[in-house]
Amino acid sequence: MSEHKVREHLEQAERKQKKSKPRNPERPQREAKGEMKGETKSLKGKHVAILATDGFEQSELTDTRDALDRAGATTTVIAPHAGAIKGWQMKDWGDEVDVDLTLDKAHADDYDALLLPGGVLNPDKLRTDTSAVTFVRSFFEAEKPVAAICHGPMMLIEADVLHGRRVTSWPSLRTDIRNAGAQWSDEEVVVDRGLVTSRKPADIPAFNRKMIQEFAESAVSTRTDRSTIE
């Protein structure tokens, strides 16, 4: 895909975002209001990459993406393969989510921030993909904000970007995170230098608030216009 095609995709995603209805209209009204109360920052003009594959924890992609959309961001679901990726919902397979862009066509320069949903199978597959690991590492090298929840930090371990940071995750990753040079903390959400982490689906409301805050407070635009680069 040419750079022109990538930019065209992002523009189409923005137009689609403006016209689309909320993705989860049946969510309890009380929960939606509670989340919106903390989602006061605007992400208008921000492009957020969501890296995932089959086996992502359903709510950790769909609910967080909905929060980003409501805040005005343009979100792009990126996966190693085209078509759709299948979620995992607690103890069984969940719904499919359309893939917007395949990983081999994705460039970190085109995005302002990165979201890494959890689910055991999802990051376990992604961490064996060198392109996925490089994609994640690129956000840290460019000092762009990243949000990872539950087992999502497995990708941060593989990308070797946790040294000296304070993070949280699903408890089973505690030792691996410490071995990667980070300080693990059992909190619903931890923020450290643009990295937002949470432990589990129950932490999503707090995770969304901090994620949106960090994404909003990054530079107005951290994307690179690669059309000017020879």
Catalytic residues: 150
The alpha carbon dihedral of 53, 160, 145, 89 has a sign of positive
Is the separation of the CB atoms in 137 and 114 below 8 Å?
Answer: no
- Pairing relationship of beta strands 92-98 and 101-102 according to DSSP bridges: unpaired
Radius of gyration of the chain (CA): 16
Question: Which whole-number Å values give the CA distances from 72 to 1, 67, 189, 210, in the listed order?
Answer: 26, 9, 22, 15
Q: In angstroms, rounded to a whole number, what is the distance separating the alpha carbons of residues 199 and 187? A: 7
Is the separation of the CB atoms in 94 and 119 below 8 Å?
Answer: no
Q: In angstroms, rounded to a whole number, what is the distance separating the alpha carbons of residues 150 and 175? A: 14
Residue 169 structure tokens:
């995750």
